[in-house]
Amino acid sequence: MAKHERGLRFQPTGGSRAPQIPVGKKQRLTIERLANDGRGIVFFEGRTWFVNGALAGEEIEARVLGAHGKIVEARTERVLKASELRRPAPCAHFGRCGGCSVQHLPHDEQLALKQRMLAEQLTRVAGVEPQEWAAPLSGPEFGYRRRARVAVRWDAKAKQLEVGFRAVASQDIVAVDDCPVLVQALQPIMQRLPNMLRRLSKPQALGHVELFSGSSIAVLLRHMAPLSEADLQVLKEFCTFHDAQLWLHGEGQPEPVEPGQALGFRLAAWDLELAYRPGDFVQVNAGVNDAMVAQALEWLAPKAEERVLDLFCGLGNFALPLAKQVREVVAVEGVQAMVERAAQNAVSNNLHNVQFFQADLSQPLTDAEWAKQGFSAVLLDPPRDGALEVVRKLATLGAKRLVYVSCNPATLARDTVELVKQGYRLKRAGILDMFPQTAHVEAMALFEAG
């Protein structure tokens, strides 16, 4: 048997590997510009640093959160020379909590950042610019979030229950009892929630808590073991005090403790009430959602005699307002449970000119029976992955107008390439400020054929 020559096979062919940067190392940096996610960027000693909480032109001291290859992720520890744009962060947890990343930037500058991100994606990826830029669609910068997931974890070493939100770039939990982006109705619940949960007898069995505020307020508790009668009583009393529904999520689906209770939200401009259950997708910003629906309908300009297609329809957020304006709406969603609830929402609102179908929207639509009659206009609101397979065949449906609501400018730009190939022109685009204090960008685009 040949002798193994250890140490030769994996020797480098030349040069030397740069030493790894340890987590926790502090480094003085001058920020060059902002990345698309709102972090500061600086190129330093052959590496690209992404720094949370920093602004362009600032001199800061950064602490390393992690490093891989030539990418270093860090957070701002001290601002040595501040940008003129910097404002004091309104939340005491800023910089540690991972929920809001750009509170140190004034709201108008946040909007400008998001506008640049959208424009850059459309120009760089699709090579297009809209014929008209729409003004940003925005609402209050605080007190807007009507739904939140609260992290809960038992720390066995410290023998205490941690309650709050996930930390920046970490699974650690930041204790938060005052969150300024939550709607006012959820603030008292958030403040008293940690103490209530610590009274429960099996904190190790708690998963997470979700808070909802719509036509009703609700608290949902995820638990991995049965709750004792005493614990259930504590939860009931807490929810009674806050005039909130109690929902439990053990085995199976979430269920209300009081049978027959339902959650919902209103679309007041259309006199609609939409029911939903925990786990269903709903927009967290009610004010911007209402404005978004109104703008989508205005841009789509549906006529009374038209047949309109709504793709990724969810619970009927766009489909039901559309049904009040046109002859027929066909609404399609990938999740069967959502299709069933959307159909029930139509019935409960006395709308009978909208049909809901389940379909795999990652696949082309041309074989679907409901697609064969064609449509005058199409509205789509896909998830972050976009709608590449769907848009590749949209021209075959005969739609002259298309409104695309996007939660990811990168996939909107990619899908725009396909739409332009099919003869659509980008008439109008603008951002939707669904998540103030974050760098998350939502957008709306109007395409017209010809």
Gap between the Cα atoms of 340 and 334, Å rounded: 11
Instruction: In whole angstroms, give the CA distance from residue 366 to residue 77.
Output: 54
| Closest to 30 measured CA to CA, from 74, 81, 77 | 81
CA distances (Å), 61 to each of 103, 174, 192, in order?
Answer: 19, 22, 36
CA-CA distances (angstroms) from residue 87 to 36, 59, 71, 401?
20, 15, 28, 42
Handedness of CA 375, 376, 379, 385 (dihedral sign): positive
Residue 379 to residue 366: CA distance in whole angstroms: 17
Q: Which helix (H) or strand (E) holds 320?
A: helix 319-323
Q: Is 313 annotated as a binding residue?
A: no
The amino acid that residue 168 corresponds to is V
* Annotated binding residue 36: no
- Residue 179 marked as a ligand binder: yes
Q: Which of 150, 173, 399, 407 is catalytic?
A: 407
Residues 34 and 364: their CA atoms lie apart, in Å, by 38
Which residue, among 371, 375, 316, 378, has the nearest Cα to 347 in the 3D structure?
316
Q: Is 37 marked as a binding-site residue?
A: no
Say whether 345 counts as a known binding-site residue. Answer: no
Contacts of 178 (CB under 8 A, 6+ apart): 92, 187, 190, 191
Task: Give me the helices (H) in 14-136, please.
Answer: 107-121
Can you read off the two tokens belonging to residue 95?
């910089």
Please report, to the nearest 10 degrees, the dihedral formed by the alpha carbons of residues 22, 26, 31, 36 taken in order: 50
C-alpha closest to that of 81 among 60, 95, 102, 110: 60
Q: Where are the alpha helices (DSSP H) in 368-447?
A: 388-391, 409-421
Which residues, 6+ apart, have CB-to-CB distance to 371 below 8 Å? 309, 365, 397
Structure tokens at 159: 């023998």
Please name the helix (run of DSSP H) or strand (run of DSSP E) that holds residue 445, with its range, or none.
Answer: strand 442-449
Question: Do the Cβ atoms of 334 and 356 come closer than 8 Å?
Answer: no
Q: Is 360 annotated as a binding-site member?
A: yes
The reply to whether 407 belongs to the active site is yes
Which residue numbers belong to the known binding site for [4Fe-4S] cluster? 91, 97, 100, 179
Which residue numbers belong to the known binding site? 91, 97, 100, 179, 283, 312, 317, 333, 360, 381
Residues marked as catalytic: 407
Which residue numbers belong to the known binding site for S-adenosyl-L-methionine? 283, 312, 317, 333, 360, 381
